[in-house]
Amino acid sequence: MSISFTLNEDQEAIRETAHEFAEEVIKPAAAHHDATGEYPWEVISQAWEAGLMNTHVPEEYGGAEMSNVDSLLIAEELAWGCSGIGTALEANGLAQAPVILGGSDFLKKKYLEAQVNELNDGNRPIMCAYAVTEPGAGSDVQALKTRAIKQGDKWVLNGSKMWITNGGVADWYF
């Protein structure tokens, strides 16, 4: 039995769409964002409109429920345009994964449906971040020190995080 790495017709179309987006939207904006450090909201908004974000969200929550290969084709092409902007675009998927895999129906509706169907304040996509990396622990989840402790009806977070993609702009964090 042999394995074929040939893309099917749908995958070729996905790859081409993502490549054209990277060439026409991401590449022209990349130098500006590298030089200024400004978050690429205009690129992110266009990628959201084009359906190039939140690709793993299940259909029952409004998403495309793309396969890992299909999503990888998009991610590869977006990163070809600019790895930094590509990472910002793909970070939603990292934070969404635990919700998709283990979240209740309530959480999936609350967080995933909003990301594919709504704009924050009516003008920008809803972003999330996967806040794992800590000083002294890196991304080793068993070594994390940050804790959430319930005090009355509120949660108190104690700890430090670092290098959290989308950390300063996220609407929610995992």
- The C-alpha atoms of residue 62 and residue 135 are separated, in whole angstroms, by 37
Cα separation, 92 vs 129, in Å, equals 6
How many whole angstroms separate alpha carbon 115 and alpha carbon 119?
A: 8
Q: What is the pLDDT of residue 2?
A: 85
- Burial (CB < 10 A; 0-12, 13-18, 19+), residue 122, is exposed
pLDDT score of 75: 97
pLDDT tens track for 31-90: 999 999 999 999 999 999 999 999 999 999 999 999 999 999 999 999 999 999 999 999
pLDDT tier at 119, thresholds 50, 70, 90? confident
The proportion of the chain whose per-residue pLDDT surpasses 90, expressed as a percent, equals: 87
Say how far apart CA 12 and CA 56 lie, in whole Å. Answer: 18
Kindly state the average pLDDT of the residues 13-26: 98
Question: Residue 138: its pLDDT value, please?
Answer: 87
CB atoms closer than 10 angstroms to residue 103: 17
Give the closest residue to 33 by CA, choosing from 103, 83, 105, 106: 83
Neighbours of 46 (CB within 10 A): 17
Give the position of tokens 């995933």: 112
Bridge partners, 158 (sequence order): 147
Average pLDDT for the chain: 94
Do residues 34 and 90 make contact, with C-beta atoms less than 8 angstroms apart? no
Confidence (pTM) = 0.89
Query: What pLDDT score was predicted for residue 44?
Result: 96
* 136-162: pLDDT as tens digits: 888 888 998 999 999 999 999 899 999
